[in-house]
Amino acid sequence: MLRRGKSLETRQIYLLSYGGGMAKEGLTGSRIRERRAIAGLKQAELASKVGISASYLNLIEHNRRRIGGKLLLTIASTLGVEPSALTEGAEAALIANLRVAATDANMPNAEVDRAEEFAGRFPGWAEVLSAAHRRIGTLERTVEVLSDRLTLDPKLAASVHELLTTAAAIRSTASILADDKDITAEWRNRFHVNLDQDSRRLADTSKALVTYLDTQEGDNAARSVSSPQEEVEAFFEANNYSFQGIEDGNVVVADIISQAEQLSSVAARRIGTGILQQVAADARLVNLELLRTQVETVGMNPVALASHFKVPVPLILRRLGALPDLQAGIVVCDRSGSLLFRKSTTGFSIPRFGAVCPLWPIFDVLGNAGQVLRRRVVQSGRTDTEFECYAVAEPTKTTEYNKLPLMQATMLIVPLQSADKADHINADEIGSTCRVCSRAKCPARREPSILSEGF
Amino acid sequence: MGKRVLLVEDEPNIIEAITFLLSREGWKVESHTDGATAVERVNDLRPDLLMLDHMLPGKSGLDILIELRSDEQFAALPILMLTARGQMRDRAQAEAAGVSRFMTKPFSNTQVLAAVRDLMSL
């Protein structure tokens, strides 16, 4: 919010001068929903207070109806906030980002609390600082991805190995030629030929490596596709993990897969088909609109929701993960701990390569099929966002005598809003993957972190 | 007769350079390029020092190292591992498996000679 004492006119000019460019009026409904939750009002209560139906407010809150004029002023007044707090979310985001930047820099709380004043007095500098902090976050994620890629991307690992091996041969051979004055002509000629071969190979390898890395420049660095699993992730991200045609039951999976330009390999199309078939099966059992309404009634309670819809808890977790307004992440793993499906949520890092942190709740349930685990977590070294995680495991195939069932575990990752933290439950500290986790003295650490050891 | 060094490495120009380098110092150098049959070669040759590349066709240097160390007769064989994989995890794995020395590419001739002299004097 702005400094107290500014006039409304000054405030509007101020917003236009530094906040206007970032305004996202399309998200006004989401802000109303957030503010209503903070005020502790149910949807029906707010609707009644402002004189509209609950269903209409529901549409507004899900950004399906535009809002402005008198109704906006009435809602703002009822919620006790400035109308601009609902329409100009960017300002709040700026201040929130400044607070995170200050916290990350270990500034004292008194200084952190002056973020709002700072943004008011030096809007330009505040923008620069905020943008720089976001950029650092982006670069850290890129380092994370590239570091993992160097370890586990077969193509990159092979290129780097070839490069270093050739460099070793050149270095050794050149040193012999330079240091040994008594070398015979035969050996000298052999080494000259070797040097020629190796220098050509080094040039070719370097060129190929640069070409490979060039394709991953900029924002694409963290998104370059090289495996079927990555193709599938790119496909789901491009569709925002939402398939309305499947939800409505009027589009078949095969049609979506055949038109998916991200799915270029046979393996990726097969994986994508399997996941979408499960989405279709889930959608037939639990309609998203009905689920949303039920969440409004009973709250975020997967067990109660599963009971209400008479479906298994893992299915409810998957459907909750498909609710756009929940902004939840979801991961599915098999008995080996390999992630089969991942949907990220802001502030919770899910590594694209390598083994994830063994402290994740999803691994706690693999040996206890049917047990539903609920744990609050925060990821080390990232934002202070806390997440409520719900995890459950279930057998994937029909049970057979004398054979352990193949298990699959599902974990829903729900970002907590400030109002949700009122219960003061302590969050367990977890990581993303050891290589980029800064948590000191972690009993689960498998390898040193590049954040502490350096490159 | 000079002590025998077995170099298991699949890069021919590195084999030539190291063979020249060590032969000049009086050591007898044999080379082998296939990971799958490297343990048999060690069994046949009984070298005084094994120089082992990490990435080999057929079987990795780490697996060869583990197999040799599980055999009592090679428990004390000095093994110098040469690798382009210099990451801490690879080093830790090799050390846990009983490597005598770990050297990352691109190494210098001085480093190689110093390591070989050091290991031969054990």
Highest mean pLDDT among A76-80, A416-420, B112-116: B112-116
Q: Does A291 score more than 90 pLDDT? A: yes
Residue A17 per-residue DSSP state: I
Helix axes A154-179, B109-120, angle to 10 degrees: 90
> Could you tell me the fold of the domain covering B4-120?
Rossmann fold (3.40.50)
Q: What is the CATH code for A8-135? A: 1.10.260.40
Task: Answer for the pair B61, B36: CB distance below 8 angstroms, yes or no.
Answer: no
Give A168→chain B minimum CA distance, Å: 4
Give A105→chain B minimum CA distance, Å: 29
Q: Closest partner residue to B17 among A164, A176, A197, by Cβ? A: A176
Q: Does A22 score more than 60 pLDDT? A: no
Residue A231: per-residue pLDDT: 84
Residue A151: per-residue pLDDT: 64
Strands (E), A337-439: 339-343, 373-379, 386-395, 407-415, 428-430
- Identical topology for domains A8-135 and A313-453: no
Read off the pLDDT of each residue in A311-338 and give the average, rounded to a whole number: 92
ipTM of the complex: 0.89
Query: Mind listing the pLDDT tens digit for each residue in A46-72?
Result: 999 998 988 889 988 888 888 878 888
Q: Which residues of A75-103 are buried (b: 16+ CB within 10 A; e: fewer)?
A: bbebbebbebbbbbbbbbebbebbbbbbe
Q: How far apart (Å, rounded) are the C-alpha atoms in residues A453 and A394?
A: 39
Residue A147: per-residue pLDDT: 66
Q: A447 and B92: CB-CB below 8 Å? A: yes
Average pLDDT, chain A: 81
Query: Mind listing the pLDDT tens digit for each residue in A94-105?
Result: 787 888 888 878
* Chain A positions in Cβ-Cβ contact with residue B92 (cut-off 8 Å): 447
Closest chain B residue to the Cα of A190, Cα to Cα? B16
Closest Cα partner for A19 from A82, A85, A71? Answer: A85
The partner residues of A411 in beta bridges, in order of sequence, read A331, A391
Q: Does A3 score more than 70 pLDDT? A: no
Read off the pLDDT of each residue in A203-230 and give the average, rounded to a whole number: 66
Candidate from A32-41, A95-104, A241-250, B80-89 with smallest mean pLDDT = B80-89
Q: Closest partner residue to A175 among B82, B84, B108, by Cβ? A: B108
Residue A422: per-residue pLDDT: 63
Q: Which residue has the tokens 């959608």?
A: A283
Residue A455: per-residue pLDDT: 31
Instruction: Read off the pLDDT band of A321 (50, 70, 90).
Output: very high
Q: In the structure encoding, which two tokens stand for residue A205, read together? A: 């390898």
Q: Does A286 score more than 90 pLDDT? A: yes
Contacts of A233 (CB under 8 A, 6+ apart): A342, A352
Q: Does A452 score more than 60 pLDDT? A: no
Scanning A143-202 for CB atoms below 8 A from B yields 151, 160-161, 163-165, 167-173, 175-176, 179-180, 187, 190-191, 194, 197-198
Q: A176 and B89: CB-CB below 8 Å? A: no
Q: Does A15 score more than 60 pLDDT? A: no
Query: Mind listing the pLDDT tens digit for each residue in B42-54?
Result: 999 999 999 999 8
Q: Which of A147, A148, A163, A165 to mutate to probe the B interface, most B CBs <10 Å?
A: A165
Q: How far apart (Å, rounded) are the C-alpha atoms in residues A372 and A316?
A: 12
Residue B52 per-residue DSSP state: E
Query: Mind listing the pLDDT tens digit for each residue in A381-419?
Result: 656 778 999 999 999 877 778 888 888 999 999 998 765
Which carries the bigger pLDDT value, residue A280 or residue A426?
A: A280
**Domain positions in chain A:** 8-135, 154-222, 313-453
What radius of gyration do chain A's Cα atoms show? Answer: 27
Task: Answer for the pair A94, A127: CB distance below 8 angstroms, yes or no.
Answer: yes
> Could you tell me the fold of the domain covering A313-453?
Beta-Lactamase (3.30.450)
* Chain A positions in Cβ-Cβ contact with residue B15 (cut-off 8 Å): none
